[in-house]
Amino acid sequence: MSSLQSLDIKQRSATSSPSPSIRSTVEVAKLIDISKCIGCKACQVACGEWNDIRDVVGRNVGLYDNPPDLTASTWTVMRFTEHETETGKLEWLIRKDGCMHCEDPGCLKACPSPGAIVQYANGIVDFIEEHCIGCGSCITGCPFNIPRISKKDNKAYKCTLCSDRVSVGMEPACVKTCPTGAITFGSKQDMIEHATERLQDLKERGFQNAGLYDPKGVGGTHVMYVLQHADAPQIYHGLPRDPHISPLVNLWKGALKPIALLAMGAAVLTGFFHYVKVGPNDADADEGEDARSKKAGMELGQEER
């Protein structure tokens, strides 16, 4: 498999020249309204079904989260949090976890293999597993802890936002199946407008801090949440308040790369031109005519006595 939309690539991992990009496409987004989610996990099932992957049957770990974490074969998982409000009321916060499809993807930035991660013009970030070398740099780069390396084939996997479905005009499988309409899909602009209506409704119902989660630290995301408590995203099973690519990753994949290569090139050239200027430091060229070597011999003789 190669990338499905070869004319619509915005960014390609480990590639500095421009990608095929003559066509401009509408940016898409998936909106997950946590206030509407009932935790039925139909999206999890639809995801496994459409992508035709089955995770191994795990063990109950005492939580509703099942499986307890994302894996190479589980690209989305419902995270259940029992949250007690200030007034002592219980809220069951259920967050559909999976790739956020960042506008500034840390995985793509960190990936060393050309074309193993692409970002389409519509914003979807996709792993092209046949080019994956299994190094795990995408995990190092991801601010949301999403990619998983398969123990079976050492390739990295994550949600594709059903790039195959979207490329032929269909919505992602999870959106298609959601029985409450908690997951919607469309142009990013439309999704922001839809979210605005939802937020108005939530605020009228007393959720004063309701807000849209579209974090600017990663340039915005193509998977967004409507949160009842946008002032405290971390209560939704550790959703980061201000996600961004780690400065360590930025330094590694930013300044260090050109500086290191320039320094190595400069060292080789300095050595070469130094040689051109001063010539070899050649003791044996002194043979026969150099007085110093005779002196050296004499000194040796003296030392020996």
Partner 1 sequence: MSVDPSAPIQRYSDGERITHWTVAILFVLVALSGLSLFHPALFWLSNLFGGGPWTRILHPFLGVAAVAAFVVMMARFWGYNRIEERDRQWLRQWRDVVDNREDKLPAVGRYNAGQKVLFWVLVVCMLALLVTGILFWRPWFADSFPIFLVRLATLAHAAIATIVILAVIIHVDASIWTRGSIRAMMRGTVSTRWAMKHHRAWAQEKMKQG
Binding site for partner 1 (CB under 8 A): 14-16, 112-114, 131, 133-137, 139-140, 145, 149, 151, 154, 246, 248-249, 251-252, 256-257, 259-261, 263-264, 267-268, 270-272, 274-275, 278-287, 292-294, 296-301, 303-305
Residue number with CB closer to partner 1 (40 or 139):
139
Residue number with CB closer to partner 1 (169 or 288):
288
Residues 210 and 203: their CA atoms lie apart, in Å, by 6
Residue type, 207: F
CB of 286 to partner 1, least distance (A): 6
CB of 202 to partner 1, least distance (A): 33
CB of 72 to partner 1, least distance (A): 11
3-state secondary structure string, 43-96?
A: HHHHHHHHCCCCCCCCCCCCCCCCCCCCECCECEEEEEEEEECCCCCEEEEEEE
CB of 64 to partner 1, least distance (A): 25
Maximal CA-CA distance, the chain:
105
CB of 67 to partner 1, least distance (A): 16
Residue number with CB closer to partner 1 (231 or 299):
299
CB of 185 to partner 1, least distance (A): 30
* Helix residue ranges per DSSP H, 205-255: 247-253
Q: Which tokens sit at 118?
A: 């692409």
Residue number with CB closer to partner 1 (129 or 190):
129
Q: Is residue 86 classed exposed, middle or buried when 0-12, 13-18 and 19+ CB atoms within 10 A define those classes?
A: exposed
Residue type, 61: V
Q: Which tokens sit at 257?
A: 């790369």
Q: Is residue 23 classed exposed, middle or buried when 0-12, 13-18 and 19+ CB atoms within 10 A define those classes?
A: exposed
CB of 10 to partner 1, least distance (A): 17
CB 163 within 8 A of CB 123: no
Residue number with CB closer to partner 1 (59 or 152):
152
Residue number with CB closer to partner 1 (189 or 265):
265
CB 21 within 8 A of CB 9: yes
Residue number with CB closer to partner 1 (86 or 287):
287
